[in-house]
A and B are shown apart, each in its own frame.
Chain A
Amino acid sequence: MRAEFRVAAPIRRTSLSACRSLLRTLFRNPSFVIIYSAIISDGFGWRYHLGLDPPSTEIPVPRDFEVDTGFLLVFAASDGQSHAYGLDKLNSLAVVVDSEEAKNTTKIKQLLCWLSSIGIKYIILYDMQGVLKQTIGIDLESLTNTSMTPCSVIDAKTASSLFHFGKMAIEIISLSDGKEGVAKAASFLYSEHMKDDSEICHRSEPDFTESDVANALKATGSAGDEPDLLLVYGPARCHLGFPAWRLRYTEIVHMGRLRSMNFAAILYVCQVIR
């Protein structure tokens, strides 16, 4: 049987010990469902992961990450041996956010925490105007103490941002990595063709394959994994120019407004799509 319940209430530091005590009680009761993990956030911005596994996924969050309401979220899994959420096959997940809503960095950071808590290994954040690159990208840069790691870029200013965060990678992209990226790839393809063509005195006509385009996208820094799932946050139910080359078989789900996002809905979508 699978069930989940949620209690939303302000939690103070002193209550954390009460939560741990409750969980220990539940663990000891064999007739109860097996608790896999509990995620507790308090108003101070720290996140605790209590579960059967060692708390290696405890992720410190910068102090300026403010959670308005602490909450206790407990998930019960019928199979405590396997990954509680059964999302092993969901390798990468993309999130498209309306650029106006992307300015709500608190919500974006909360979303990242949630996605990391359910074990998503590769997250792609996208908004058209590059708001996320300028906000979340800079925060992640300072958090991970890594500089932007573009992938073989020609123009570093428009490079996508890729951050490794424990076992998770976060890629932040914008329209410059989408349609503009293909335009750059077309220019690159022509240049490469002319290089090869010069040896036979400019006789051959360009004859490109999908592999050629894929390699050109990689060379110009616009390549990347095809996400298994794409969540769209915003008023419109469209992907807002997410890189077309990476959308072939991606499942697309509109989640509504970012301000209305909730963890249970995300988990539900991930488990249905997996």
Chain B
Amino acid sequence: MLPSLHLNSTLNCTTLNYSSTLLPLRGSRRRTRRDVANESLVPAAHPARRYPSLSASLAPAREEEERKEGALLPPPLRPETLPRHVAVIMDGNSRWAKARGLPSSAGHEAGYRTLKKMVELSCQWGIRALTVFAFSSENWTRPKVGSGFASPYLEVAANVCLVLYREGIRVCIIGDSSELSQSLQKLAKEVVDKTKNNTQIDLIVAISYSGRKEITQACQNIARKVKDGLLEPEDITESHIEEELETNCIPEFPNPDLLIRTSGELRLSNFLLWQSAYTELFFTNTYWPDFGEAEYVEALTSFQNRQRRFGQRIN
């Protein structure tokens, strides 16, 4: 079996078996010894990571507190090189359930437990922001199974937020909430209001979200500013676009450092298209309900081993 594309091993001559048959690589599968061996062939880049200059906005005392929490980190992880903002495309709930002969709702329930665990681990390890892709605007076009297909799924997402707000998590919701039912919109607003003063971790939940729509909305907001005389049209730059994006609800870390997608797909699927320019991408075959601590550690370790330049030269 050829090594999986989805396990983030670098493709080179030594990782390919020329006599093997090419096989499609979809679906969840366990890592084999070959996969582990292949991953070890990836040259370990310089562990130091360069940040863009965001440090001015960070309180030193808060950083010190965060670093003390690094004492709880599993051994491969180093607190000084952890990502500050992690984004996740939680893919594979339905396939996970189907593989077990269960209804889709069981997959979403299992996915909720995984999300809860991931938020707990992120808090524990000092990750400051987590953005999760709960529901895409394109998901509305999926064939509905029974009436109100989206509602139970989104209610699970909302209930996650309600449970987690007690644990110091500040919740932001991005996306087009007008597509949601009135009760869900009310629930979402309630969650955001109740958690706005929490400081443990920022959790952005993308519901009915589209990256293109977000950029369009940003262009619209900028046009309004120009019309109101706050900005000249010839002065519009990419910074102005960035200021209008919904992820600026976390002004300190609006762009994710690491993006994880589960279930074997290798696409962004219209998620954080603008914000992910320098985001380390990690694709894994594991379905979201099976994405546990070990898998999270693997993703974070992969991030730590990368050399990120943010478009700059490294001297």
Q: Which A positions have Cβ atoms within 8 angstroms of B?
A: 1-6, 98-100, 128-129, 175, 178-180, 182-187, 189-191, 193-194, 202, 205-210, 212-213, 216, 235-242, 244-245, 247-257, 260, 262, 264-265, 268-269, 271-273
Bound form: Cα–Cα A207–B216 in Å: 9
A89 → B minimal CB distance (Å): 13
B154 part of interface (Cβ distance < 8 Å): no
Bound form: Cα–Cα A269–B25 in Å: 10
Q: Once the chains bind, are B241 and A248 in contact (CB under 8 Å)? A: no
Chain A residues positioned under 8 Å from B273 (CB to CB)? 244-245, 247-248
Chain A residues positioned under 8 Å from B18 (CB to CB)? 3-6, 264
Chain A residues positioned under 8 Å from B274 (CB to CB)? 179, 182, 244
Contact of A183 among B24, B236, B269, B307 (CB under 8 A): B236
Contact with A along B264-277 (1 / 0, CB 8 A): 00111110011011
B45 part of interface (Cβ distance < 8 Å): yes
Q: Once the chains bind, are B11 and A180 in contact (CB under 8 Å)? A: no
Contact of A236 among B12, B212, B308 (CB under 8 A): B308
Contact with A along B232-243 (1 / 0, CB 8 A): 011011101100
Q: How many residues of B contact A (CB 8 A)?
A: 57
Bound form: Cα–Cα A235–B283 in Å: 16
15 A-B contacts, Cβ less than 8 Å apart? A179-B274, A182-B274, A186-B223, A202-B227, A206-B227, A207-B220, A208-B216, A236-B306, A238-B276, A244-B215, A251-B267, A253-B11, A264-B18, A265-B12, A268-B2
A127 → B minimal CB distance (Å): 10
| Prevailing SS type, chain B contact patch | loop
Contact with A along B194-230 (1 / 0, CB 8 A): 0000000000000000011101101110111011000
- Find residues 270-295 in chain B having any chain A CB closer than 8 Å to their own CB: 270, 273-274, 276-283
Chain A residues positioned under 8 Å from B282 (CB to CB)? 237
Q: Once the chains bind, are A255 and B10 in contact (CB under 8 Å)? A: yes
Q: Once the chains bind, are A239 and B277 in contact (CB under 8 Å)? A: yes
Chain B residues positioned under 8 Å from A245 (CB to CB)? 212, 215, 273
Bound form: Cα–Cα A93–B281 in Å: 19
B199 → A minimal CB distance (Å): 29
Q: Once the chains bind, are A2 and B223 in contact (CB under 8 Å)? A: no
| Prevailing SS type, chain A contact patch | mixed
Chain A residues positioned under 8 Å from B223 (CB to CB)? 186, 189-190, 193, 206, 208
B234 and chain A: residue at smallest CB distance: A187
Chain B residues positioned under 8 Å from A100 (CB to CB)? 313
Bound form: Cα–Cα A239–B13 in Å: 23
Contact of B22 among A128, A236, A240, A272 (CB under 8 A): A272
B113 → A minimal CB distance (Å): 28
A96 → B minimal CB distance (Å): 11
Q: Once the chains bind, are A237 and B281 in contact (CB under 8 Å)? A: yes
Bound form: Cα–Cα A210–B213 in Å: 6
A189 and chain B: residue at smallest CB distance: B219
Chain A residues positioned under 8 Å from B5 (CB to CB)? 253, 269, 272
Chain A residues positioned under 8 Å from B21 (CB to CB)? 1-2
Chain B residues positioned under 8 Å from A264 (CB to CB)? 13, 16, 18
B281 and chain A: residue at smallest CB distance: A237
Additional pairs, 13, CB under 8 Å, beyond known A248-B268, A252-B267: A186-B219, A186-B236, A186-B241, A208-B216, A235-B306, A238-B280, A240-B311, A244-B273, A245-B212, A248-B273, A250-B268, A256-B10, A264-B13
Bound form: Cα–Cα A256–B237 in Å: 32
Bound form: Cα–Cα A128–B312 in Å: 10
Question: A183-B237, A213-B219, A238-B276 are known contacts. Are A248 and B266 too (CB-CB below 8 A)?
Answer: no
B8 part of interface (Cβ distance < 8 Å): yes
Bound form: Cα–Cα A260–B270 in Å: 31
Q: Once the chains bind, are B11 and A268 in contact (CB under 8 Å)? A: yes
B311 → A minimal CB distance (Å): 5
Bound form: Cα–Cα A189–B221 in Å: 11
Bound form: Cα–Cα A150–B268 in Å: 28
Per CB-CB distance, the 9 closest pairs between chain A and chain B, nearest first, are A256-B10, A206-B223, A244-B273, A265-B11, A179-B238, A241-B277, A186-B219, A235-B307, A190-B223
Contact of B241 among A1, A179, A241 (CB under 8 A): A179
A267 and chain B: residue at smallest CB distance: B22
B309 part of interface (Cβ distance < 8 Å): yes
B19 part of interface (Cβ distance < 8 Å): yes
Contact of B278 among A238, A248, A250, A272 (CB under 8 A): A238
Chain A residues positioned under 8 Å from B236 (CB to CB)? 183-184, 186-187, 190
Chain A residues positioned under 8 Å from B283 (CB to CB)? 252
Chain B residues positioned under 8 Å from A202 (CB to CB)? 227
Q: Once the chains bind, are B216 and A269 in contact (CB under 8 Å)? A: no
Bound form: Cα–Cα A59–B199 in Å: 61
Question: A186-B222, A210-B216, A236-B307 are known contacts. Are A191 and B233 too (CB-CB below 8 A)?
Answer: yes
Chain B residues positioned under 8 Å from A191 (CB to CB)? 233
Bound form: Cα–Cα A184–B241 in Å: 11
Bound form: Cα–Cα A265–B222 in Å: 44
A218 → B minimal CB distance (Å): 14
Bound form: Cα–Cα A206–B219 in Å: 9
Bound form: Cα–Cα A3–B19 in Å: 6
- Find residues 6-32 in chain B having any chain A CB closer than 8 Å to their own CB: 8, 10-13, 16, 18-19, 21-22, 24-25
